[in-house]
Structure 1
């Protein structure tokens, strides 16, 4: 049996599928991963066959000029949508040629279900954030579509989801149905419902990011798909962690860091009596004048590192938020885009850290956020939540998938 796993996005979108692929392999299935080309070498280290799709995702992390960018015309939007749907269909069709099921995550994969239908194989959609799935209990995540106008602030969740559906249909309805007609499939009325299905999976921790309607049995939530990491920390980092005052971690993963954040963080951690470990990430972050109480590191084992720091300051990506919660460390979340605002809100609501107000911190605002996160009751609450974060979700999901395939 062969499973095609497909996603579009950053490391936080790709890593859960690597975790699921690893568990599927352990159960004797063959797994293939389709993702942006940035991750080919990394995925190869797990001996998982890889198929690149789309342009490098890293371009989205590049700092952008502050000047306003003209909105694309409707014709330009249509052309981009047509190209995206066509490329997805071509790449996924080839990747799925000998597969028995297709599992897709992120709503950007407009053509994935069409590929599964054309090949006559089951299709599973797995969301990596509850707010990616329609519900009256929460607003939709902001769409990464060019030229879209935000809905009025007074709109309720029903109105916001209706606007979301219109935007997705306006952008992708015509090119998707044109494609489906060429391969002999009937048109779809609602692109969003078509992508998500009526029985989606939700790969988030039930405590950290629960599905808001406990009576809704259509959504299957096994937990966050975590990839075990047994790598030791580099000697330089280990020595630094043990050489003085407690450390605070700062990292923005695969998104562009806000301007001036490093300078603000240096001042803030000193103000609270700590030192600083900076993850370079895709930003990239670097210290011009190397200070003895600050260390910049590359890609390291976050699962091990977070257990050694006093607090984790980050962008609010699903993976980083879950890893910090599992480590039992208080968090300061400075959300920038998409689902990061959702996870910032959850960290605050659970009492395991603080959600920074605004995307660009100052030394003063970050000092205040750190002081709030390092309060004894927040530290204790973070440890309490860590004890209930599920670690077996990828295995549980893999078992469900194999059972559905009759393996």
Structure 2
């Protein structure tokens, strides 16, 4: 029935369609016919269904089965409801498609079988293509000379091949010869050097020259003390070190021997005058060397990574710039920088750093990095400002903001902010 009008007694369109197809039993069919005579709704619906059924029977190609269903029907005969077979009988187009699928399936079976070609076709093939069956040309057996000769005989490649050969002869070969001569000239002094002793062997002492006596340790001790302090870190070694080269005299030689360079002295003399091997340094000696380097830290260029191992409020002199770092909380209380260090700084090292900060910085631009930490729900906001203290300006030169920083990432982010501001100070002085 249509959606707008329904049968008052409850008959459906499917029952009317079954009546047209002849699928109703005799009792139901007689009852339906008596109802149709008295019901105008069912009579109108029955005429509409008959008209549609007639159109389908007259034009069955309007509702073709799918290509996959036709292929399965042609090859395997899959048609459980026999609807495809009925459609193929009434549709010429689908019938041709099914026949084509069946022929293709038959050809597939025939191709897999080995069928000899008829003799007449074989003779015609040999006459038409005489090269088939003959000896295959052996391209890979051609010599390299013949292959390269083709590059200069083919017009399209002759010009490019000639240019490549000219470039090889003019540029690459002289360049290789020049590099080869330089290599031989460099290795020439090394070829006359005696071979080094093997593992576990000691270097032999030449018989022509006597070995120099071992210098006294007290003599080296006195001469190392006499070395000037301005000689630099290279000559400022710990007291008593036998490796100190300041004031070392060659036994049995005069001023000319001391002024002679190693390239002017023979191998045997250098071997005889070699100083004794230095004993391993103890922990106290290494610690003393570190403190000596720390007291001279202003004479070296240090990056901002060294700021994390200094006092909370410090002066950092680097490349002619003094930077003072101050860290406070939201209420203005100062926070020590050591609280954000990855390791604890010893007290003696802190004292050394403070003493080093007392170096005169008059006439050098002063900057101050003020970092303010704002804690919010176990996260921090970093507000860093850079001020120019030498110019007495209240407005910051640069501001860096970091938001939602966790406790674990806070030391790392503070280091990055300090590093960026210190680099900015260095750029201002360039």
User: With structure 1 as the length reference, what TM-score do the two structures score?
Assistant: 0.19
Greater percentage in helix: 2
Which structure's relative contact order is higher, taking Cα pairs within 8 Å and 6+ residues apart?
Answer: 1
User: With structure 2 as the length reference, what TM-score do the two structures score?
Assistant: 0.19
